[in-house]
Structure 1
Amino acid sequence: MVQDIVDERDLALVNALQVTPRASWAQLGQALDLDPMTVARRWGRLCGTGLAWVTCVAGPALHGDFCMAYIEIECGPGQLEAVAATLSAEHPVRYIHHITGAYGLLVVIALRTPAAVSAYLRHTIDRLPGVRSSRMEMRTVGYSEASRWRLRSLERSQQHVLESLGTLPAAVGGARVDATDQELYRLLHEDGRMPFTVLADRAGISEPTARRRVKRLLASRLLRLRCEVAQSISGSPVTAVCWASVPPQHLESAARSLTALQDVRLCCGLTGRRNLLLMVWLRTLGDLPRLEALIAERSPHVTIVDRATCLHTVKQMGRLLNAEGRSIGNVPPNVEVLAES
């Protein structure tokens, strides 16, 4: 079993890197009371087996500069696997979930404009062999994103120490970007802990320049590092998707309240009648009705109108995943999201 090859210290290390993804081995070792070499060895094993990884995504400063669309796709008999495999190689596709229900795939894409989303839907998805039908909604507001989700393996004192390490000074001046910044984004997406010496060599710049640019991109919130973990070892191996309807005047307060629930990994507003989407990680499928009851108690204006269970996450922010949630491949990001408007 995959759970047999990790222990509590491994999970604490993943949790620590969720808090501060580029902390040094010495800093991590001090916080976790481990020898730095032991920390490096444990992380190397977790990465090497695809159980955890650090990646890079577009940061909050860019979220208003591109459009995210949530597309449910119905496939013909025996065609779902082929459709998922084709879409998993597409750069604009960030997530692919095989879900229960009439629409077997939930696909999330990110493009610069609504017109680009329209073209992608008409010219790529609708023309894909095996696609029978689709429906799509656009994200309106992101209330909580997956990068904020955490394991709960650290002591509070350890977390405070690590949080102080991860603090970046506010960026000064304009946040202009160029081709070198885009290349750094691509490299950090491949490995968010890539050493500055390697980043500099692969980007064709000096190490001080690499350090300065990466710190600026992170401080400007143009990029965000995040540590991911295979769901099979997270303690919450079940993913559920809930679509809710909320009166517009209560949407903001309800969504903010729900993001505080520890099982909620993603919460965002959508266009359409189902105007709130929740993605949750649960210990068991039996926890879903209990979570819905808690939502109803906590936010009486929220009505869950549809739900699905995720059978397999095929792609997650550019990472290709196997049935255990292990990383088995990487699709480079669409660096156009980092282009100047």
Structure 2
Amino acid sequence: MTNASRSVDEIDRQIIHALQIAPRITWTALGEIVGRSPAATAQRWERLEAQGLAWLIAYESLGTRAAMAFATVTVDMTQRESTIEALCAHESVMALSEGARASQMHVTITADRLETLVGSVLDAVALIPGVQDVHARFVARLLAEGASWRLDALDAQQRKLAEHSAIRSAPGTWRESAGPTFDDDKKALADALIREPRANIAHLSDVVGRHEATVRRQLTALLQSGAVTVRCEMSYEVSGWPIEQSWFLRVPGGGINALTAAAREYRGLRLVAMTIGDANIVITALSRTLEESAAFEARLVDSSIGVTVTESVLHLRTWKRMHRNMGKDGRSVWSGPGEVLRPVPGSSGSTR
């Protein structure tokens, strides 16, 4: 067992699980769930966050941040380290990991629209020193994503209490957005929430210069519509689900629903996306063992006639996840790209 593993006990796991369900729950309500005072609960969370073991993020959905691609980036091995650093520093790179081939990086890239992604971002990535080739698969639609992933640390009564708080504050569950759903006023509120995912209504009201009742109504609309998602992330190394793998699949049109249903039954599911390219479905999942990951792959292939795996990627080391740089020990090391994505000191405990 690693030192990182010893730094997360059962109460910590319960706090993380509750924040996965209700990321904007008050410390008072969260303390009641885990049997600790609000102050002690907040202190535990601050330690987890400071150690890079767990953190909160807020982000616009694919429906609003309209373009995404999964790219395989081939790098010059003589410049590998500096190229990884440059890729991680790029503001459009959401995630970056390496698999079995040391010369290939697996990169998730986003942009405000497809034209920008193709005509600007991918070109810029291709010109980074050390990048030799970029093979992109474009996302047409997200069918499931990581905000719905859960630990199994709370009992049924604790989950019920957390779910009740989620209804009142903000659900920690991704909802597929129908597309851009907010005007400039709501965009300003969305940016404020992305900076401080747990900021209370009074603080958000001060930031955007609007009445608290207006902010509360607009915030509820943003979260319930799926335009903005708030979620709790944690280090895979201490989650009990340390293995991350992605599958690129070719699925006949009639089998996509069956495949998606089979994938959603798996507790470790992180992502299902429809893509354009040699694979039309991409799935990412966590597992506790390699054997469990192999069994999940077999379940996907057996879900419908004609399903084939065109590529399988075992993510051996993750350098960036959801715009956060990750250290070699799997912990978050913050070095975000822009003001909209940069946490404000002290923001993690601002919801009362």
Q: Tell me how far 1:277 sits from its aligned partner.
A: 1.1
2:78 and 2:207 map into 1 onto residues whose CA distance is 42
Alignment correspondent of 2:177: none
Consecutive unaligned residues in structure 2, runs of 5 or more? 171-179, 342-352
CA contact (8 A) 2:324 2:334 kept: yes
Partner letter of residue 118 of structure 2?
Answer: S
CA contact (8 A) 1:182 1:335 kept: no
Partner letter of residue 146 of structure 2?
Answer: A
Residue 236 (str. 1) matches residue 236 (str. 2): no
After superposition, residues 144-183 of structure 1 pair within 5 angstroms as: 144-167=144-167, 175-178=181-184, 181-183=186-188
After superposition, the Cα gap between the structure-2 partners of 1:135 and 1:176, relative to the gap in structure 1 and judged at 3 Å, is closer
Residue 134 (str. 1) matches residue 139 (str. 2): no
CA contact (8 A) 2:262 2:299 kept: no
Alignment correspondent of 2:71: 71
Q: Tell me how far 1:333 sits from its aligned partner.
A: 6.0
Aligned residues: 330
2:210 and 2:81 map into 1 onto residues whose CA distance is 41
**Per-residue CA shift, 1:17-60, capped at 9, x if unaligned?**
0000011111112222222222111111111211111110114x
Residue aligned with 2:167, SS: coil
**Per-residue CA shift, 1:216-266, capped at 9, x if unaligned?**
322333211101111111101111111112112212321232122112211
Partner letter of residue 117 of structure 1?
Answer: L
Residue 325 (str. 1) matches residue 330 (str. 2): yes
Alignment correspondent of 1:89: 89
After superposition, the Cα gap between the structure-2 partners of 1:143 and 1:181, relative to the gap in structure 1 and judged at 3 Å, is same
Alignment correspondent of 2:111: 111
Consecutive unaligned residues in structure 1, runs of 5 or more? 337-341
Residue 45 (str. 1) matches residue 50 (str. 2): no
After superposition, the Cα gap between the structure-2 partners of 1:118 and 1:195, relative to the gap in structure 1 and judged at 3 Å, is same
Residue aligned with 1:54, SS: strand
Alignment correspondent of 2:59: 57
After superposition, the Cα gap between the structure-2 partners of 1:66 and 1:332, relative to the gap in structure 1 and judged at 3 Å, is same
1:243 and 1:227 map into 2 onto residues whose CA distance is 26
1:206 and 1:324 map into 2 onto residues whose CA distance is 44
After superposition, the Cα gap between the structure-2 partners of 1:102 and 1:10, relative to the gap in structure 1 and judged at 3 Å, is closer
Partner letter of residue 5 of structure 2?
Answer: Q
Residue aligned with 2:249, SS: strand
CA contact (8 A) 2:249 2:309 kept: yes
Give the stretch that moved more between structures: 280-289 or 14-23: 280-289
After superposition, residues 8-19 of structure 1 pair within 5 angstroms as: 8-19=10-21
Partner letter of residue 76 of structure 1?
Answer: D
2:52 and 2:203 map into 1 onto residues whose CA distance is 21
Partner letter of residue 74 of structure 1?
Answer: T
1:30 pairs, out of 22, 29, 32, with: 32
Give the stretch that moved more between structures: 324-333 or 246-255: 324-333
Q: Give the aligned CA root-mean-square deviation in angstroms.
A: 2.7
Give the stretch that moved more between structures: 227-236 or 110-119: 110-119
Structure-1-length-normalised TM-score: 0.87
Partner letter of residue 152 of structure 1?
Answer: D
Structure-2-length-normalised TM-score: 0.84
After superposition, the Cα gap between the structure-2 partners of 1:332 and 1:102, relative to the gap in structure 1 and judged at 3 Å, is closer
Alignment correspondent of 1:339: none
